[in-house]
Amino acid sequence: MTDKTDWKRVRALTEAEIAQAASDDPDSFVPDADWMAKANLVMPRTQKIVTMRVDSYQPAQVLTHEEWVNAGRYQSLFGAPPAANPARNTNPP
């Protein structure tokens, strides 16, 4: 990917021009003193480590990525034994 930034123009910008561009940008937000006075620092909760032990691996009982993300098929396939669902049966008769 080619860099198309005009770095000479960027380096030539004054602080006033940068501030004006930021204030004109509808997506920018510069907090004022009143907003900062009302702000609360919220720390994220620590995550717990979860492990799962798998004793045996049977490919016919493992959902593929497509089955997992496709909500319509996920509901009909989850929990169904492979033999009862031909779409998941890897060894058809």
Judge contact between 60 and 89, C-beta under 8 A. Answer: yes
- How many C-beta atoms surround the C-beta of residue 88 within 10 A? 19
For residues 5 and 10, give the distance between their C-alpha atoms in angstroms, rounded to a whole number. Answer: 8
The model's pTM: 0.32
- How many C-beta atoms surround the C-beta of residue 61 within 10 A? 13
- pLDDT at residue 91 greater than cutoff 60: no
Sketch the domain layout of the chain as residue ranges: 8-38
pLDDT at 74 (0 to 100): 47
For residues 27 and 34, give the distance between their C-alpha atoms in angstroms, rounded to a whole number. Answer: 20
For residues 17 and 11, give the distance between their C-alpha atoms in angstroms, rounded to a whole number. Answer: 11
- pLDDT at residue 89 greater than cutoff 90: no
**Confidence category of residue 30, pLDDT binned at 50, 70, 90:** confident
**Confidence category of residue 17, pLDDT binned at 50, 70, 90:** very high
Of residues 71 and 66, which shows the higher confidence score? Answer: 66
